[in-house]
């Protein structure tokens, strides 16, 4: 059975995805897997993304949770093409997401890229069963 993984992403990317303001992440690496993963808010802040959201008419809250597992998503596709109009000028790959949902924030250290979520954390976090039944493969 595949192990559930998490992806650490800077705010306000996490907030924008979990609030369904956008349905994608941009990352510098191409994953080979598709499926569900947990979304972890890293310690950093992406000011370029904040400015891009503001340009789209989306106001970002002043204070957002950092260093916590915050939600889940299904990675359905990865492309290098721009999906719509203007996007943040970040080089890399567009992770298209579906079935995004929030979880009760769970404080945890993360790291860049996908990382395996320890079993002890999985036992303490509530998320829909279909997430753990269909992890990244």
* Residue 9 domain flag: yes
Residue 28 has what pLDDT? Answer: 85
Distance from C-alpha of 135 to C-alpha of 61, rounded to nearest angstrom: 31
Q: Where are the alpha helices (H) located in the chain, listed in sequence order?
A: 13-18, 47-55, 119-124, 129-133
**pTM for the full model?**
0.91
**Number of folded domains that form the chain:** 1
Residue 137 has what pLDDT? Answer: 85
What CATH number is given to the structural domain containing 114? 2.30.130.30
Domain of residue 61, residue span: 5-126
Note down pLDDT in tens along the chain; length 137 residues: 568 999 999 999 999 999 999 999 888 888 888 999 999 999 999 998 999 899 999 999 989 999 999 999 999 999 886 545 455 655 678 899 999 999 999 999 999 889 999 999 999 999 999 998 999 88
Question: 97 and 75 in contact (C-beta within 8 Å)?
Answer: yes
């Amino acid at each position: 059975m595949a192990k559930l993984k998490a992806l650490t992403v800077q705010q306000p990317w996490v907030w924008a995805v979990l609030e369904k303001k956008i349905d994608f992440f941009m990352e510098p690496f191409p994953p080979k897997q598709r499926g569900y993963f947990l979304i972890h808010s890293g310690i950093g802040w992406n000011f370029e993304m904040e400015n891009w959201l503001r340009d789209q008419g989306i106001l970002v809250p002043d204070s957002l949770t950092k260093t916590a597992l915050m939600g889940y998503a299904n990675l359905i596709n990865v492309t290098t093409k721009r999906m719509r109009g203007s996007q943040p000028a970040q080089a890399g790959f567009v992770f298209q997401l579906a079935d995004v949902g929030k979880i009760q924030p769970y404080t945890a250290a993360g790291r860049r890229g996908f990382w395996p979520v320890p079993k002890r954390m999985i036992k303490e976090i509530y998320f829909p069963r279909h997430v753990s039944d269909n992890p990244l493969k």
